[in-house]
Each structure stands twice: as C-alpha cells, then as structure tokens.
Amino acid sequence: MQVMNVSLWEGERVTFEDLGGGEPSVLANESILLKGLVVRSWSNHITIQFHSQRQTQPGSFLLRYQAFVLSCTFPQRPVCGDVSVSSLHSGGEAYFYCLTGYQLQGTNTLTCLNASTPYWSGTEPQCHAACGGIVRNATVSRIVSPGFPGNYSNNLTCHWLLEAPEGQRVHVHFEKVALAEDDDRLLIKNGNNIDSPPLYDSYEVEYLPNEGLVSTSRSLFIELTTDGAGTSTGIAIRYQGRHISLSNQITVISFAVGHCYETFVKYGNFTSNDSTWAVGTVVEFTCDPGYTLEQGSVIIECMDHNNPQWNETEPACRAVCSGEMTDSAGVVLSPNWPEAYDSGQDCIWGIHVEEDRRIMLDIQVYLS
C-alpha cells in the first residue's frame, strides 16, 4: 500500500494493522504517514482504522493498494560464487555455482515451496577451495589456496597434480602469490610426484615470472606448506593445457596455436567475440553489482600470431570506499568485500533517484 496524499489534523488517527497472526500487528500509523510511504503486509488480510475529531476544516488522505504474490527471499549468494533464480514464487528454483577454483558444498539447486508461507527447500550451499587435488586432462581452470581470497590456515600441506591431455604440456600463470614471511612455501615441480625436480621454489625465487611456467612433460606437481606462525592470502594460479609444435627445429609452445589464454576477472564478467581466444579476439570486462573496475583495461585484444598474448593487463573488480549511484537498483558493499575492510575507513555513498520515486534499503549482511 502506498500513501499518495495525506492531510490530517491534530488528534486524527490512522492505523494499518496486519491480521494474519494470532494478534493484530501494527504496520504503520499517522506518526509516519508521509506522501510516498510504501507499507507491505505480512499476510493477506489487513485493516485500516481511521478516527477523526469534529473539525471545521476536515482533512483527507488517498491510499492506493495492490495485491502481490508472496515470494521467497532472494537466496544468499555464496562467497566466491553466485546464484541465479528462475522465480522467487512457489515452484521457482535457485541455481548455485562457484567461481573457478572453488567447489560447491551442498546442493546446487533449491526450490521455493509453499505458496502461503514461502521458504526455500534447504540451506544455501557454500563455495570452498580444496587443499589439493588431482586434475586429469587439464584444459583451462584455476587452483586457489584454502580460504582464498581470505587468509589460509596454519599447518597446511596441500598437493595438486595437474596433468594435461596426451601430447600437451601444462602452463601455469601466477594470478597471486602472497605467503607469510616465515616458513610458508610454494613449490612447483616438473613432473607428476613430490620427488620431481622443481621449476619454482618460493624460498629461492624473489620475483614471479610474468610469462608463467611450462612443464617439459604433461604434468606439474604443486605443493603448498604452511607453518604454525603467521598466515597470508595464499595462492591463485591459472593453468591450461598447451600444444607443442616444431618450427625450424625450435620448440614452440602455445595455448593452442594462435590463441591466447582464457581471461578471468574475479567479482565480474566479460564478453568475447571469439570463445576460442584466437588472435584478434576482443574481450570487454564488467563488474558485479557493487564493484568498481580498477587497474588494467576495460577492453583487451589478443595479438601477435608468433607469440599470442593480450595487449593489456586484465582489470580487477573491487568494492571501493564511497561512490555516487543513480540507477534505480543497485548494491552497496563495504570496502574489500567479501574480505574485511581496513581500519580507519570513512566512506560516503550517495544514492539519487527520480523525484517520483523513493528508496528502500534491504540490509542483507551486517557484521560488527
């Protein structure tokens, strides 16, 4: 119900009550009746009570009501994942999935049940990063340390085995490596077991190779160990199987001849004019609601047939402190969401919509 107009005199009373429970529940009264106010009932039965005094100049009010179908609340999006919904009404389904590198724990589909008091058929699943695993016939994907993008735990020993299809090699690209400055260690070995020779050792190499690492066989073995002291963000490593060819007796390794590696943006999405990532492919990035595109370029292109590579760095999507919003719907996130915000933050977000509209805030998560 929306208040279209109201002009009440002192002493006059208007009360909205919901009669769906055991006892009437007050939804609103004259103390908050302002033009534009929207009141929603909890059930299918409300009453409007009006009491006026004897006045020489009586007032007036205009209320407009509309029935709507009850619905389930929008399901909570899993951290490091997302959810899409066919309908919030009874019979509708919510589909959950995780970002690359994470595994879904729980059911991937929930159904909205019971038209009179709608509820979801179960609890929302979560997305977790496993401590190790085996990937056969590796094509394009990503591994992340447990807890990423938050901190990993102490006393971990995680082993990943990446195995490319027959006749291919494994290429890894370092998205992020942040280890505590103690005995935490990342080892990448050129083979399929813990005894294979190392290609990369965080103890010995100060800088990460921008071009990544390529195995000489079809396998790479990755080991992450952490001690009982401090922790950090950990690792995020993309991998892809790569073809090998010979040109004038020189070995040429590429992401399939004439192709760049698949792009990725955390907390965002992208569109591409070629799903095979061939030279000439143009990719445009966007961020999820509440995030802002920072660093890198909004549009990048795969270039150079001899050594295919993107002409610009992939951007990053971040939840920033403060902003101005004019869209009719949107999301406000605390800085660094879903990670904790930094201390000493002083943020202001301005929301401005058309004059004939009002703003409703739905606070979904609040942790202090």
Mean pLDDT of 311-339: 85
Q: Examine the pLDDT at 347 and tell me if it is beyond 70.
A: yes
The CA distance from 158 to 179, in Å, is: 14
DSSP 204: T
Give every CB contact of residue 56 below 8 A, 6+ residues apart in sequence.
none
| Residue 15: predicted pLDDT | 92
Provide the percentage of residues in the chain whose pLDDT is more than 70. 93
End-to-end, the C-alpha distance of the chain in Å comes to 34
| Residue 252: predicted pLDDT | 39
Cα–Cα distances (Å) from 353 to 232, 292, 363, in that order, read: 41, 20, 19
Could you write out the DSSP letters of every residue in 19-84? Answer: -SSSS-EEEEEGGG--TT-B---SSS-EEEEEE----SS--EEEEE-------PPPPPPPTTEEEE
Q: Report, in angstroms and rounded to the nearest whole number, the Rg of the chain calculated over CA atoms.
A: 28
The CA distance from 319 to 340, in Å, is: 11
Mean pLDDT of 314-337: 86
Token digits of residue 138: 């590796």
Q: Examine the pLDDT at 150 and tell me if it is beyond 60.
A: yes
Around 368, how many Cα atoms within 13 Å sit in the side-chain half-sphere?
0
The C-alpha angle with vertex 79 and arms to 228 and 137, in degrees rounded to 5, equals: 80
Mean pLDDT of 176-181: 86
Q: Higher model confidence: residue 129 or residue 11?
A: 129
Average pLDDT, the chain: 85
Q: 130: closest CA among 264, 222, 56?
A: 222
DSSP 259: B
Cβ atoms within 10 Å, residue 194: 11
The CA distance from 67 to 45, in Å, is: 10
| Residue 256: predicted pLDDT | 54
Domains and CATH numbers, the chain: 2-64 (no CATH), 81-128 (2.10.70.10), 131-256 (2.60.120.290)
Give the residue carrying structure tokens 């993107």. Answer: 310
The CA distance from 24 to 335, in Å, is: 42
Q: Are 342 and 336 spatial neighbours (Cβ–Cβ below 8 Å)?
A: yes
| Residue 133: predicted pLDDT | 94
